[in-house]
Amino acid sequence: MIDRLINKIIKLQNPTCVGLDTDFEYLPVEMKEGVKNFSRASEMIFEFNKNIIDAVADIVPAVKVQAAYYEKYGYSGMKAFYKTLSYAHKKGLMVIADGKRNDIGSTAKCYSAAYLGRTQIGERLLKAFPSDMLTVNGYLGADGIQAFAEDIKIYKKTIFVLVKTSNPSSSDLQDIRIWNGQFIYEKMGALVEEWGKESRGRYGYSEIGAVVGATHPEEISRLRMQMPHTFFLIPGYGAQGGTAEDIRSCFLRRGLGGIVNSSRGIICAYKKPQYEGMGYAEAARAACIDMQKDLSAAIGKMGR
């Protein structure tokens, strides 16, 4: 699955991921009018996502759909989450479910079934929230990660494990030094590189990727050296402050190595002065084109 993502990035010369962190509040006023319950709000959120997907599907390789923004609208929100994942697949996009899920082995298997695998009901194997990739928190260690391994193999899926997150307080735990002088995030990175060693694809990257925030350029550079076989999912570009220059060092080998997410920067582009007069979908497309230009100017030709 990581090979499929890399192929798409090369084909489109675009390592941009559109983050569908669609808060109901982000919608244009006319879509919010008269909406009073979760069911209707969730329909509107899906409608918004659908139009964004239609506008960007031919120029970006993937979308990342943030579960938290759907859970806050209850089970109706989870229906909009499901419909968004399904619609993005239908339009040929790769789909990253951003849930940062984690638990002990037997429970992590349920999360794996929910997002990457199948759930058995009688003789039937059904899909709950069909995704190509899922973000995962690795604090519980190998058995919490290996629970996903079987589905990764059978269904050709990928997970991204949190290594160094984009938020200001990521330093509280992640930047503490352990006994051998490594930072905790480096140790997590080393575990991820190790966990992935059985599943490397044709570009040399494994099915166990890492989340590394765009807001930490030094750490990206350090981790890229230490994790040569790990593909990075890079949040924090744009609204959170990360720039193309900050993440350049991720893309050392043939201009590959990561995919960069922007959420508000794209789905709320219609509120920015530079996209004035455009509808939200048109503005999202324009913002994707601008982001592609910005990234490719920093990275150079991908797959060279």
* 71 counts as binding its own copies under rule CB under 8 A: yes
* 205 counts as binding its own copies under rule CB under 8 A: no
Cα angle 18, 79, 137 (rounded to 5 degrees) comes to 55
Q: How far is the CB of 1 from its own copies (least distance, A)?
A: 20
Determine which residue in the list 27, 62, 108, 295 makes contact with its own copies, applying CB under 8 A: 108
Which parts of 217-246 interact with its own copies (CB under 8 A)?
Answer: 235, 240
Instruction: Give DSSP secondary structure letters for 109-150.
Output: HHHHHHHTS-EEETTEEE-SS--SEEEE--TT-HHHHHTTHH
Catalytic residue among 32, 50, 79, 100: 100
Site string for its own copies, 240-279 (x = CB under 8 A): x---------------------------------------
Q: Copy the structure tokens of residue 173.
A: 């735990």
Determine which residue in the list 20, 60, 95, 138 makes contact with its own copies, applying CB under 8 A: 138
* 38 counts as binding its own copies under rule CB under 8 A: yes
Q: How far is the CB of 117 from its own copies (least distance, A)?
A: 9
Determine which residue in the list 12, 31, 59, 128 makes contact with its own copies, applying CB under 8 A: 128
* 87 counts as binding its own copies under rule CB under 8 A: no
Cα angle 208, 99, 213 (rounded to 5 degrees) comes to 65
Q: How far is the CB of 130 from its own copies (least distance, A)?
A: 9
Determine which residue in the list 7, 13, 51, 107 makes contact with its own copies, applying CB under 8 A: 107
Q: Is 100 a catalytic residue?
A: yes
Q: How far is the CB of 160 from its own copies (least distance, A)?
A: 13
Determine which residue in the list 29, 169, 276, 277 makes contact with its own copies, applying CB under 8 A: 169
| Contact between residue 98 and residue 135 where contact means Cβ atoms under 8 Å apart | yes
Q: Copy the structure tokens of residue 259.
A: 């995919």
Residues 6+ apart with CB under 8 A from 179: none
Q: Copy the structure tokens of residue 294.
A: 């910005």
Q: Which is nearer to its own copies, 10 or 163 (CB)?
A: 163
Return the sign of the alpha-carbon dihedral for residues 91, 165, 214, 48.
positive
Distance CA 17, CA 135 (A): 14
Determine which residue in the list 29, 36, 218, 273 makes contact with its own copies, applying CB under 8 A: 36
Task: Give the rounded distance of the alpha carbon of 20 from its chain centre.
Answer: 10
Residues 6+ apart with CB under 8 A from 31: 44, 47, 48
Q: Which is nearer to its own copies, 158 or 174 (CB)?
A: 174
* 43 counts as binding its own copies under rule CB under 8 A: no
Q: Copy the structure tokens of residue 195.
A: 């966990």
Q: What region, left, alpha or beta, does residue 102 occupy, with left being phi > 0 and alpha being psi -120 to 50 degrees?
A: beta
